[in-house]
Amino acid sequence: MSLLKDFMNGLWNEHPIFRLLLGMCPLLAVTTTAVYGLAMGLATLFVIVCAEIVISLIRNFIPKKVRIPSYIIIIATFVTIVDYTMAAFLPDIAEALSIFIPLIVTNCLIMARVEAFASRVPVKRAIADALGQGVGFTWGLVLLAAVRELLGQGAIFGFQILGEGFPTWGIMGLPPGAFISLGIILAVINQIIRLRHKRTKEVS
């Protein structure tokens, strides 16, 4: 039961992007199209799951004083694996994401979860947490990317959705569009949470 709770936490209550505001750089940079968002999300998911497993397994052997450098090396190892695997099998996507794949290593989301969670709990719970955070991060990326792709190119995942006559918003593919659309999505989510709070208060 608690495993399920650890997993679900990442999907909404402690959502890495919308609630904790972690991992902003890759989120804003790669979400020009939904495919890139999905690829980035899955790459991060792989790294966070592997890192949390390994760190949870060896948590009792790492001296407290050198724990941060040790975590960084473990994370960097898995990032290297992802970097080379993607360059070999998905060269187009790897080129589009460019330096943001190696930069998974400085994604504060991974460091935060490893430090706050994986280094304190047994492997089972670490896996549940990593999956939850990874999937949460991925759906956040895909949501923002889908909004930007829909308004910027009239398509989602490359499928044309809005008709030919739709005037595409070029700004959505550029940095300002990324910042502003994420700001608006955050505001909408804040509002949803606020309304829910009100309702639960009224009921009780």
Partner 1 sequence: MENLLLLFAGTVLVNNFVLARFLGVCPYLGVSRQVDTAFGMGLATTFVMVIASVFTYLIYHFLLIPFGLEYLEIVAFILVISSLVQVVELFMQKVSPTLYRALGIFLPLITTNCAIMGLALLVIQEGYQFIEALVFALGAGVGFTLAIVLIAGIREHLDIADIPYALRGGAITLIIAGLMALAFSGLAGVV
Q: Give contact residues for partner 1 (rule: CB under 8 A).
A: 21-22, 24-26, 28-29, 68-69, 72-73, 76-77, 79-80, 83-84, 98-99, 102-103, 105-108, 111, 171, 174-180, 182-184, 186-188, 190-191, 194
The residue (of 57 and 188) whose beta carbon lies closer to partner 1 is: 188
Q: Using the Cα atoms of residue 135, residue 17, residue 179 and residue 167 in order, give the sign of their dihedral.
A: positive
Residue 174 CA to residue 183 CA, distance in Å, equals 15
Residue among 112, 150, 182 nearest 34 (CA)? 150
The residue (of 69 and 122) whose beta carbon lies closer to partner 1 is: 69
Residue 65 CA to residue 160 CA, distance in Å, equals 53
The residue (of 1 and 99) whose beta carbon lies closer to partner 1 is: 99
- Residues in Cβ contact with 127 at an 8 Å cutoff, skipping those fewer than 6 apart: 49, 52, 53, 56
The residue (of 99 and 203) whose beta carbon lies closer to partner 1 is: 99
Residue 152 CA to residue 120 CA, distance in Å, equals 43
The residue (of 91 and 175) whose beta carbon lies closer to partner 1 is: 175
Q: Could you tell me the end-to-end alpha-carbon distance of the chain, in angstroms, rounded to an integer?
A: 25
Q: How far is the CB of 100 from partner 1 (least distance, A)?
A: 8
Q: How far is the CB of 25 from partner 1 (least distance, A)?
A: 5
Q: How far is the CB of 5 from partner 1 (least distance, A)?
A: 25
Instruction: Report phi then psi at 159, rounded to 5.
Output: -90, 125
Q: How far is the CB of 103 from partner 1 (least distance, A)?
A: 5
Q: How far is the CB of 122 from partner 1 (least distance, A)?
A: 26
